[in-house]
Structure 1
Amino acid sequence: MIKIYHNNRCRKSREGLQILENAGTSFKVIKYLEDVPSEKEIKNIISLLGIKPIELVRKNEAIWKSDFKDKNLTDDEIITAMANNPKLIERPIVINGNKAVIGRPPSLILNII
Protein backbone atom coordinates (compact mmCIF):
# COMPACT_ATOMS: atom_id res chain seq x y z
CA MET A 1 0.00 0.00 0.00
CA ILE A 2 1.32 3.42 -0.97
CA LYS A 3 1.46 5.98 1.85
CA ILE A 4 1.63 9.74 1.56
CA TYR A 5 2.68 11.88 4.50
CA HIS A 6 0.49 14.85 3.77
CA ASN A 7 -0.19 18.39 4.96
CA ASN A 8 -3.30 19.81 3.29
CA ARG A 9 -2.10 23.38 3.85
CA CYS A 10 0.92 22.76 1.61
CA ARG A 11 0.49 23.28 -2.14
CA LYS A 12 3.21 20.75 -3.04
CA SER A 13 1.60 18.19 -0.77
CA ARG A 14 -1.81 18.76 -2.37
CA GLU A 15 -0.20 18.39 -5.81
CA GLY A 16 1.39 15.12 -4.69
CA LEU A 17 -1.97 13.84 -3.49
CA GLN A 18 -3.50 14.76 -6.85
CA ILE A 19 -0.80 12.75 -8.66
CA LEU A 20 -1.71 9.68 -6.61
CA GLU A 21 -5.43 10.21 -7.20
CA ASN A 22 -4.87 10.62 -10.96
CA ALA A 23 -2.79 7.43 -11.05
CA GLY A 24 -5.84 5.49 -9.88
CA THR A 25 -3.83 3.54 -7.33
CA SER A 26 -4.92 2.90 -3.77
CA PHE A 27 -3.05 4.78 -1.10
CA LYS A 28 -3.24 5.82 2.52
CA VAL A 29 -3.07 9.47 3.57
CA ILE A 30 -1.16 10.13 6.77
CA LYS A 31 -1.83 13.61 8.11
CA TYR A 32 1.49 13.73 9.89
CA LEU A 33 0.77 16.95 11.78
CA GLU A 34 -2.09 15.14 13.54
CA ASP A 35 -0.81 11.55 13.42
CA VAL A 36 2.78 12.40 14.30
CA PRO A 37 5.32 9.76 13.29
CA SER A 38 7.45 8.32 16.07
CA GLU A 39 11.22 8.61 16.09
CA LYS A 40 11.35 5.00 14.90
CA GLU A 41 9.03 5.79 11.98
CA ILE A 42 11.09 8.86 11.06
CA LYS A 43 14.27 6.76 11.11
CA ASN A 44 12.59 4.24 8.80
CA ILE A 45 11.49 7.00 6.40
CA ILE A 46 15.03 8.42 6.35
CA SER A 47 16.41 4.96 5.64
CA LEU A 48 13.97 4.40 2.76
CA LEU A 49 14.82 7.81 1.33
CA GLY A 50 18.55 7.10 1.62
CA ILE A 51 19.26 10.54 3.09
CA LYS A 52 20.69 12.06 6.25
CA PRO A 53 18.19 13.29 8.87
CA ILE A 54 19.07 16.95 8.23
CA GLU A 55 17.93 16.51 4.61
CA LEU A 56 14.37 15.82 5.82
CA VAL A 57 14.21 19.06 7.82
CA ARG A 58 12.33 22.12 6.59
CA LYS A 59 15.05 24.62 7.46
CA ASN A 60 12.92 27.69 6.73
CA GLU A 61 10.41 26.89 9.47
CA ALA A 62 10.44 29.48 12.25
CA ILE A 63 10.91 26.84 14.94
CA TRP A 64 14.03 25.50 13.19
CA LYS A 65 15.51 28.98 12.90
CA SER A 66 14.73 29.91 16.50
CA ASP A 67 15.47 26.65 18.31
CA PHE A 68 17.84 24.51 16.25
CA LYS A 69 19.60 26.30 13.38
CA ASP A 70 22.80 27.32 15.14
CA LYS A 71 23.19 24.16 17.21
CA ASN A 72 25.50 21.27 16.37
CA LEU A 73 22.91 18.48 16.54
CA THR A 74 23.47 14.75 16.20
CA ASP A 75 21.32 12.74 13.79
CA ASP A 76 19.32 11.40 16.75
CA GLU A 77 18.73 14.93 18.08
CA ILE A 78 17.49 16.04 14.64
CA ILE A 79 15.10 13.06 14.53
CA THR A 80 13.85 13.90 18.03
CA ALA A 81 13.31 17.52 16.95
CA MET A 82 11.18 16.33 14.00
CA ALA A 83 9.17 13.95 16.19
CA ASN A 84 8.51 16.74 18.69
CA ASN A 85 7.87 19.37 15.99
CA PRO A 86 6.36 17.62 12.95
CA LYS A 87 6.15 20.93 11.04
CA LEU A 88 9.89 20.44 10.54
CA ILE A 89 9.34 17.34 8.39
CA GLU A 90 9.64 17.94 4.65
CA ARG A 91 6.55 17.12 2.62
CA PRO A 92 5.03 15.35 0.89
CA ILE A 93 6.73 12.02 1.49
CA VAL A 94 5.44 9.09 -0.53
CA ILE A 95 6.36 5.50 0.32
CA ASN A 96 5.67 2.54 -1.93
CA GLY A 97 7.03 -0.69 -0.46
CA ASN A 98 10.77 -0.23 -0.01
CA LYS A 99 10.88 2.91 -2.17
CA ALA A 100 10.30 6.44 -0.96
CA VAL A 101 10.55 9.95 -2.31
CA ILE A 102 10.09 13.51 -1.11
CA GLY A 103 7.67 15.01 -3.62
CA ARG A 104 9.60 18.18 -4.33
CA PRO A 105 8.83 18.61 -7.10
CA PRO A 106 5.67 16.51 -6.89
CA SER A 107 6.46 14.88 -10.26
CA LEU A 108 9.14 12.82 -8.45
CA ILE A 109 6.27 10.74 -7.05
CA LEU A 110 5.75 9.28 -10.50
CA ASN A 111 9.13 7.52 -10.17
CA ILE A 112 7.84 5.15 -7.48
CA ILE A 113 4.19 4.47 -8.34
Structure 2
Amino acid sequence: MAPFTEQVIRIIKSIPEGRVMTYGGVARAAGSPRGARQVVRILHSMSRKHKLPWHRVVNVKGQISLTEDESSSLQKLYLQGEGVLFDEQDAIDLEKFQFHPEPAE
Protein backbone atom coordinates (compact mmCIF):
# COMPACT_ATOMS: atom_id res chain seq x y z
CA MET A 1 0.00 0.00 0.00
CA ALA A 2 1.31 3.48 -0.88
CA PRO A 3 2.42 5.69 2.05
CA PHE A 4 -0.15 8.37 1.13
CA THR A 5 -2.95 5.78 1.21
CA GLU A 6 -1.79 4.50 4.59
CA GLN A 7 -1.73 8.07 5.95
CA VAL A 8 -5.21 8.80 4.61
CA ILE A 9 -6.60 5.66 6.24
CA ARG A 10 -4.91 6.51 9.56
CA ILE A 11 -6.22 10.09 9.48
CA ILE A 12 -9.79 9.14 8.62
CA LYS A 13 -9.80 6.53 11.39
CA SER A 14 -8.66 9.24 13.82
CA ILE A 15 -11.61 11.58 13.18
CA PRO A 16 -13.56 11.51 16.45
CA GLU A 17 -17.29 11.04 16.72
CA GLY A 18 -19.14 14.31 16.23
CA ARG A 19 -16.36 15.89 14.15
CA VAL A 20 -15.68 16.09 10.41
CA MET A 21 -12.82 16.73 8.02
CA THR A 22 -12.86 17.90 4.43
CA TYR A 23 -11.41 15.82 1.60
CA GLY A 24 -8.73 18.49 1.14
CA GLY A 25 -8.03 18.59 4.87
CA VAL A 26 -7.40 14.86 4.91
CA ALA A 27 -5.13 15.18 1.87
CA ARG A 28 -3.14 18.04 3.45
CA ALA A 29 -2.77 16.14 6.73
CA ALA A 30 -1.54 13.12 4.73
CA GLY A 31 1.12 15.23 3.02
CA SER A 32 -0.47 15.93 -0.36
CA PRO A 33 -2.33 19.27 -0.36
CA ARG A 34 -3.66 18.67 -3.86
CA GLY A 35 -4.77 15.07 -3.22
CA ALA A 36 -8.45 15.58 -2.37
CA ARG A 37 -9.62 13.51 -5.33
CA GLN A 38 -7.34 10.68 -4.30
CA VAL A 39 -8.94 10.81 -0.82
CA VAL A 40 -12.33 10.37 -2.53
CA ARG A 41 -11.02 7.31 -4.39
CA ILE A 42 -9.56 5.82 -1.22
CA LEU A 43 -12.83 6.32 0.64
CA HIS A 44 -14.80 4.78 -2.22
CA SER A 45 -12.60 1.72 -2.57
CA MET A 46 -11.41 1.07 0.99
CA SER A 47 -14.07 2.26 3.47
CA ARG A 48 -15.62 -1.14 3.97
CA LYS A 49 -12.36 -3.10 4.03
CA HIS A 50 -10.75 -0.79 6.62
CA LYS A 51 -13.98 0.08 8.49
CA LEU A 52 -13.46 3.80 7.87
CA PRO A 53 -15.89 6.35 9.31
CA TRP A 54 -16.57 7.59 5.76
CA HIS A 55 -19.51 9.69 6.89
CA ARG A 56 -17.16 12.10 8.72
CA VAL A 57 -15.59 13.41 5.50
CA VAL A 58 -17.37 16.29 3.72
CA ASN A 59 -16.56 18.86 1.06
CA VAL A 60 -14.85 22.21 1.59
CA LYS A 61 -18.25 23.93 2.00
CA GLY A 62 -19.12 21.62 4.89
CA GLN A 63 -21.67 19.81 2.76
CA ILE A 64 -22.24 16.19 1.85
CA SER A 65 -20.86 15.49 -1.62
CA LEU A 66 -22.66 12.23 -2.28
CA THR A 67 -25.27 12.69 -4.99
CA GLU A 68 -27.23 9.48 -4.50
CA ASP A 69 -30.18 10.37 -2.24
CA GLU A 70 -29.99 7.23 -0.10
CA SER A 71 -26.24 7.53 0.60
CA SER A 72 -26.49 11.27 1.19
CA SER A 73 -29.39 10.83 3.61
CA LEU A 74 -27.55 8.04 5.42
CA GLN A 75 -24.43 10.20 5.82
CA LYS A 76 -26.49 13.09 7.19
CA LEU A 77 -28.34 10.73 9.56
CA TYR A 78 -25.05 9.28 10.87
CA LEU A 79 -23.59 12.75 11.44
CA GLN A 80 -26.72 14.04 13.15
CA GLY A 81 -26.66 10.94 15.36
CA GLU A 82 -23.19 12.03 16.48
CA GLY A 83 -24.41 15.55 17.29
CA VAL A 84 -23.27 17.33 14.12
CA LEU A 85 -25.65 20.15 13.18
CA PHE A 86 -26.65 21.25 9.67
CA ASP A 87 -27.86 24.74 8.71
CA GLU A 88 -30.66 25.69 6.29
CA GLN A 89 -28.35 25.00 3.31
CA ASP A 90 -27.50 21.54 4.69
CA ALA A 91 -24.00 22.74 5.55
CA ILE A 92 -21.96 22.00 8.66
CA ASP A 93 -20.27 24.83 10.54
CA LEU A 94 -16.65 23.85 9.95
CA GLU A 95 -15.44 26.38 12.54
CA LYS A 96 -17.28 24.34 15.15
CA PHE A 97 -17.16 20.75 13.89
CA GLN A 98 -13.96 20.43 11.84
CA PHE A 99 -11.27 18.16 13.26
CA HIS A 100 -7.59 19.07 12.92
CA PRO A 101 -5.38 16.04 13.60
CA GLU A 102 -2.00 16.33 15.29
CA PRO A 103 0.90 16.21 12.82
CA ALA A 104 2.41 12.77 12.30
CA GLU A 105 5.60 12.16 14.21
TM-score (norm. length: structure 2): 0.29
Q: Which is richer in strand? A: 1
Bigger Cα Rg = 1
**Larger RCO (alpha carbons 8 Å, 6+ apart):** 1
More helix by share: 2
Under a length normalisation based on structure 1, what TM-score does the superposition of the two structures give?
Answer: 0.28
